[in-house]
Amino acid sequence: MIKEYLEIGEITGTHGIRGELRVNPFCDSPEFFTRFKTLYSDSNGCCAVKVKSRPHGNIVLVKLEGVDSIEDAQKLRGKILYMKRSDAKLPEGRYFIAELIGCEVRDADNESRVYGTLTDVSPTGANDVWHITAEDGREYLIPAIPDVVIKTDVENNLILIKPLKGIFDDEN
């Protein structure tokens, strides 16, 4: 399902004495995080705040408007920051992991066959691995490659796949 506001990072600590924050980004890179000039305090878009950010290794250093002291910054530790999806400007057919989670996974050749629900995504070097949890609780892993993932329709909460042989129990 397409979500209007998505988690982009968690405030993990402070940096310096002027209210700068250390943020663990929930995106592909700290550089992606720095594209955003406005972030939000919840998944409903409440409390928009102007930000200035810069990558710092694998984290992001963030200055929120109105947070000007270490004392103010310390109160925000553990807070999740949200971005507005339309600000990301993703190419057509690209989605965030948060939008894929919860999609029903069906067979591309026989859509009445339901494999389960996408419950997690593990990044690997070559491609992501999708975790599909069947109705009986069993978990299956599939590579997120074009030969396997035929169609992704997050607007309708649906993913169609052609699984590799041996992934699901009843295949030869």
The per-residue pLDDT for range 64-80, each reduced to its tens digit, is 999 999 999 999 999 99
The last residue of one of the domains, among 25, 52, 86, is 86
CA 52 – CA 70 distance, rounded (Å): 16
Task: Give percent above pLDDT 70 in the chain.
Answer: 97
The two structure tokens encoding residue 152: 């992704």
Query: Mean pLDDT, to the nearest integer, of 135-147?
Result: 95
Q: Are 38 and 48 in contact (CB under 8 A)?
A: yes
* Inside any domain, residue 92: no
The two structure tokens encoding residue 109: 């050749």
Task: Give percent above pLDDT 90 in the chain.
Answer: 76
Write down the pLDDT at residue 170: 59
Q: What is the pLDDT of residues 101-120, one digit of tens each?
A: 999 999 999 999 999 999 99
| Domain that residue 24 falls in | 5-86
Q: Are residues 71 and 113 in the same domain?
A: no
Q: Please classify residue 83 by burial: count the beta carbons closer than 10 Å to its beta carbon, then call 0-12 exposed, 13-18 middle and 19+ buried.
A: buried
Pairs from 150-158 (Cβ < 8 Å, separation ≥ 24): 150/108, 151/108, 152/93, 152/95, 152/100, 152/103, 154/1, 154/2, 154/95, 154/99, 154/100, 154/103, 155/1, 155/2, 157/1, 157/102, 157/103, 157/104, 158/103, 158/104, 158/106
71 three-state secondary structure: helix
For the chain, what is the domain count? 2
Write down the pLDDT at residue 136: 94
- What lies within 8 Å, CB to CB, of 87 at 6+ separation is 35, 36, 38
List the CATH number of the domain containing 46. Answer: 2.40.30.60
Q: Are residues 81 and 142 in the same domain?
A: no
Write down the pLDDT at residue 172: 47
Edge-to-edge strand list for the sheet holding 149-153: 139-143, 129-133, 114-122, 104-107, 158-161, 149-153
Q: Are residues 120 and 157 in the same domain?
A: yes
